[in-house]
Structure 1
């Protein structure tokens, strides 16, 4: 029977595995105690012979042999070979458990698709489900020693009710040198097709769904048969076993405590009992025992699969589902949350600690101190009233790898495509804006096909600025400018909470077509002389 201890490790506590270390059934102690006793007895015998029976010359020879074995035993790759082997065995073991045949999906389809509450309909559903369980029984008999001991012959299968006498005759009459676990599949398909012709299965889609699920069930059975047929290569198992036992055979001699008076390196103490060698044997040999137990989970070890229980459970549940529960429905009633739009099941006092509020995001409870930043105010209001940054915030900005766009050292302004995009110079420092407003007029190349516009009286560049402290420069959107710009542009009025901001409109020298100052214009380009050819060229939007 499989050893289950999940409830004992549900919570992580201080020294929580101590209860598991005291268990005997399914433990490493039960698996390894024989080998451990044999290793300890051999080590003790060799130690007694060295100490009591050997002469002086023989002791010197044994000591050289012990040092030699200890030196070259470490060259055996026990950890690598054993670790990879155990990983392969554990993965194979889990895949076999995942592919155990469970008839639940088939019994749901049979109960809902095969109609008829009369005796013939009941017989039809139970027979289909019996064929399904017979298939898994034949597979388990071929791979599990526990199931084979329970059903050693086909007569036992007939006596157990999985097969009738007539079906046994047909089964034995079919001559095949191979395992005939697939025969009940054929019976299942023929009987399902007959039920479709009789109208018991009313739709071909239901028949197709039934056959599809039966094929999946057949795949699970075939996979278990394949795992039993093709195992881990024998040579790999032999290599791992030889590596482990050869290593510890060398340890029997190489890990002996030698005479400390001889001055051998690493033999300064004589403890008689090799504690760490015994622990090493316990771990490595126990690792090998784990692989030995899991390589075939259909045996009779403590942690092998309970295949006999699976057979009993599947038969009972499947027949109950297709017979007594066929078209069995409870009376529908209004649930207790009928008029409650926010249904919440109650908690007991023992589970009160698990009643937690809904998760609304990791930043919900994160607050900003008022001295650091007024989180409810907009940035322009923050700059307008002349709020100063705290010392901590300035240090954070100074240490930040990303330079703030409002740093006084940056003279180039980023541009966005939105009409509401803004540039924010630092509070109290408007020198970059003044430099931008004091740019002398220059000529720009006009792209071909641009319609002529009335030239501005001021020349190629016309700028409007408001008096007072400049806090924001708004750049006009390309789309809105082409739609609403007149030959005599006027200052746009900002929203109520917005301060009065100037707009920058650029016109070409040739035909006064509107241009926008490129975002990559640097100080050198803005300081170009008013006469001569400009260093930058722009195309009309």
Structure 2
């Protein structure tokens, strides 16, 4: 489940609100880098012990030459530029994937408003359209998310969950045999558009403009599903990911040697622990791990999108809008400010009075 902490950082007091978040483990940078850090320090101290207690004088001289060489040339690796740009691209792609996730709510509102009929036929039409829409996006999730794929490994599991009828599953199975190369996630949208056409012929949709609106929304929904599939198929070029990974690890392999303590080192603190070398490793490797965890937000990482929750929520809300709330609304009554036309000010609670606003000067 996505780690959320907005409520804890709503107000800054004292030394800051982010300090109390540093001790968290789940979704933290410590959880991502601890194994790499242990391996880094193990290799570092192995070389350190070898230099101080195992090598003879000639061996120490060669080791010291290697330390100087690595220390002088390690900065030729443009790590900050390569890694910074890579993480920036990953974060932009991560947010764009989230905003591309289609939600059936707007379409459900259109269906409820335009497909009329309180009888069983009208109810079946509205619910079936939304079931097909939810089935479409769930099929997409099974293709891009391991979590959802484990939940719906086959079309039979769609039937068991009520997203497909057995006859519909058989139609998709037959098409898969005839045209096995392409996924059939778009087929439920085609069925939904056919139901819209039938509803118009039966007079349950009262004008052609409403039909066009529904078909446009169905196509828009299918298009967003296609965008998610494209994000899954078209990755950031592998060559760039390889360049960044090689740059980071080659930089720190060089640093393991270049930042070793040697006898002519004027800083005695590094004799016991490489403080700033460890901090540098922590930040750069942490940066790389952030990119690795965000490059596919539909996986099993702590901060990945909660797609299984979306599957349940989509169907529940869709049925609620087109069935339970179809053409229903509270009784029409005069509002509290009927005689005043508009309120001078809405009331404040005792706790909220300190936050009472003053209008900006431009509006005075």
Q: Normalising by structure 1, what TM-score?
A: 0.65
Aligned to 2:119: 118
Higher Rg: 1
Measure, in 1, the Cα distance between the counterparts of 2:244 and 2:35.
20
Q: Which residue of 1 aligns with 2:53?
A: 52
- Provide Cα deviations, 1:21-61, integer angstroms capped at 9, x if missing partner: 01110000011111011101110111000000000010011
Paired position in structure 2 for 1:172: 173
Which SS does the other structure have where 1:323 is aligned? helix
Residues 26 and 111 of structure 1, relative CA distance in 2, 3 Å threshold: same
CA distance in structure 2 between the aligned counterparts of 1:214 and 1:98, rounded to whole angstroms: 17
Which residue is equivalent to 1:12? 12
Higher relative contact order (CA 8 A, sep 6+): 2
Q: How far apart, CA to CA, are the structure 1 residues paired with 2:74 and 2:331?
A: 74
Q: Structure 1: how far apart are the matches of 2:22 and 2:91?
A: 21
Deviations 1:196-234 (A, max 9, x none): 001111111111000111111111100000000000000
Matching of residues 200-279 of structure 1 within 5 Å: 200-260=204-264, 267-271=265-269, 272=271, 273-279=273-279
What do residues 435-467 of structure 1 show as CA deviations (whole Å, max 9, x unaligned)? xxxxxxxxxxxxxxxxxxxxxxxxxxxxxxxxx
Task: Please give the alpha-carbon distance, in whole angstroms, between the structure 2 residues aligned to 1:202 and 1:305.
Answer: 39
Displacement, 1:137? Answer: 0.6
Q: Report the equivalent of 2:298.
A: 298
Q: 1:357 to 1:275 in 2, by over 3 A?
A: closer
Q: How does 1:459-478 map to 2 (within 5 A)?
A: none
| CA distance in structure 2 between the aligned counterparts of 1:320 and 1:269, rounded to whole angstroms | 69
Deviation at 1:361, TM superposition (A): 2.5
SS in structure 2 of the partner of residue 117 of structure 1: coil
1:259/1:270 contact within 8 Å kept? no
- Paired residues for 1:492-503 under 5 Å: none
In the other structure, the counterpart of 1:61 is 62
Tell whether the 8 Å contact from 1:258 to 1:270 is kept in structure 2 after alignment: no
**Structure 1 residue 360: Cα displacement:** 3.9
- Provide the residue aligned with 1:334 in structure 2: 334
Gaps of 5+ in 1: 261-266, 365-541
| Superposed counterparts of 1:498-509, under 5 Å | none
In 2, distance between residues paired with 1:103 and 1:159? 21
- CA positional deviation for 1:342: 4.2
Q: What is the correspondence of 1:387-466 to structure 2 with a 5 Å cutoff?
A: none
Instruction: Give the equivalent residue in structure 2 for 1:2.
Output: 2
CA-to-aligned-CA distance 1:303-355 (integer Å, 9 cap, x gap): 00011001100100000110111111211111111112440210001111222
- The CA distance in 2 between the partners of 1:216 and 1:353, in whole Å, is 46
Partner of 1:74: 75
Quick one: distance in 1 between partners of 2:292 and 2:229? 20
State the Cα distance separating 1:15 from its structure 2 match.
Answer: 2.6
Is the counterpart of residue 191 in structure 1 residue 195 in structure 2?
yes
CA deviation profile, 1:378-400 (whole Å, cap 9, x unmatched): xxxxxxxxxxxxxxxxxxxxxxx
Report whether the alignment pairs 1:282 with 2:282: yes
The CA distance in 2 between the partners of 1:274 and 1:15, in whole Å, is 29
| CA distance in structure 1 between the aligned counterparts of 2:335 and 2:206, rounded to whole angstroms | 33
Name the count of aligned residue pairs. Answer: 357
How far apart, CA to CA, are the structure 1 residues paired with 2:296 and 2:34? 21
Tell me if the contact between 1:107 and 1:129 (Cα under 8 Å) persists in the aligned partners.
yes
For residues 195 and 76 of structure 1, the distance between their equivalents in structure 2, rounded to whole angstroms, comes to 65
Partner residue in 1 for 2:130: 129
Give distance in 2, aligned partners of 1:341 and 1:359.
24
Alignment correspondent of 1:25: 26
Which residue of structure 1 aligns with residue 40 of structure 2?
39
